[in-house]
Amino acid sequence: MEGFTALIQREGNGYVALCPELDVASQGDTVEQAHRNLAEAVELFLETASPAEVESRLPESLHKQAKELAEKEGVSLNQLLVTALAEKLSALMTDEYLSARAERGSRAKFDSMLGKVRSAPPPEGD
Q: How many domains does the chain have?
A: 1
Domain of residue 57, residue span: 7-106
The predicted model scores a pTM of 0.53
Count CB-CB contacts under 10 A for residue 7. Answer: 11
Q: Which residues contact 47 (CB under 8 A, 6 or more apart)?
A: 78, 82
Does 2 reside within a domain? no
Does 119 reside within a domain? no
Does 26 reside within a domain? yes
pLDDT number for residue 72: 95
Does 68 reside within a domain? yes
Does 18 reside within a domain? yes
Does 93 reside within a domain? yes
β-strand partners of 9: 16
Rg (CA), the chain: 21
Does 24 reside within a domain? yes
Q: What tens-digit pLDDT sequence spans the chain (126 residues)?
A: 567 889 999 999 999 999 988 889 999 999 999 999 999 999 899 888 888 888 888 778 888 898 899 999 999 888 888 888 888 878 878 888 888 888 888 899 988 988 888 888 888 988
pLDDT number for residue 1: 55
Does 69 reside within a domain? yes
